[in-house]
């Protein structure tokens, strides 16, 4: 068997994403994550933004998954 004499010439370029483009999205998703974490961990506890048990029931499994005291 003969070895192929032509070496592959195609190269893949990985473009970098500037920090200035990522920073607003990172801040936005960070704030959304904090809001979700607040509703999972704190709401329906000592404080309650929305009255009723809808939020509690909605995030109940997440609360147990993350180990927050529930019932
Ligand atoms: Zn529970």
Residues that place a CB less than 5 A from ion ligand 1: 70-71
32: how many CB neighbours lie within 10 A of its CB?
10
User: What's the CA-to-centroid distance between 42 and ligand 1, angstroms?
Assistant: 13
Work out how many domains the chain is built from and give that number.
1
More confident position, 28 or 50: 28
Segments forming the whole domain that contains residue 37: 20-66
Q: pTM score > 0.75 for this model?
A: no
Is residue 59 included in any domain, yes or no? yes
Identify whether the C-beta of residue 44 lies closer than 8 Å to the C-beta of residue 56. Answer: yes
Instruction: State the pLDDT confidence band at 62, using cuts at 50, 70 and 90.
Output: confident
Distance CA 68, CA 46 (A): 13
Question: Residue 46 C-alpha to ligand 1 middle, in angstroms?
Answer: 15
> How far apart are alpha carbons 29 and 23 in whole angstroms?
10
Q: How many A from CA of 29 to the centre of ligand 1?
A: 27
Considering the domain boundaries, does residue 26 fall inside one? yes
Distance 38 CA to ligand 1 centre (A): 16
Cα–Cα distance measured from residue 56 to residue 48, given in angstroms and rounded to the nearest whole number: 10
58 or 34: whose pLDDT is higher?
34
In whole angstroms, give the CA distance from residue 59 to residue 36: 9
- The answer as to whether 61 is a domain residue is yes
């Amino acid at each position: 068997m003969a070895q192929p004499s032509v070496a592959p010439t195609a190269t893949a370029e990985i473009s970098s994403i500037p920090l200035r483009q990522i920073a607003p999205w990172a801040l936005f998703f960070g704030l959304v994550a904090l809001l979700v974490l607040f509703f999972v961990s704190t709401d329906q506890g000592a404080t309650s933004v929305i009255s009723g048990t809808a939020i509690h029931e909605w995030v109940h499994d997440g609360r147990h998954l993350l180990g927050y005291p529930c019932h």
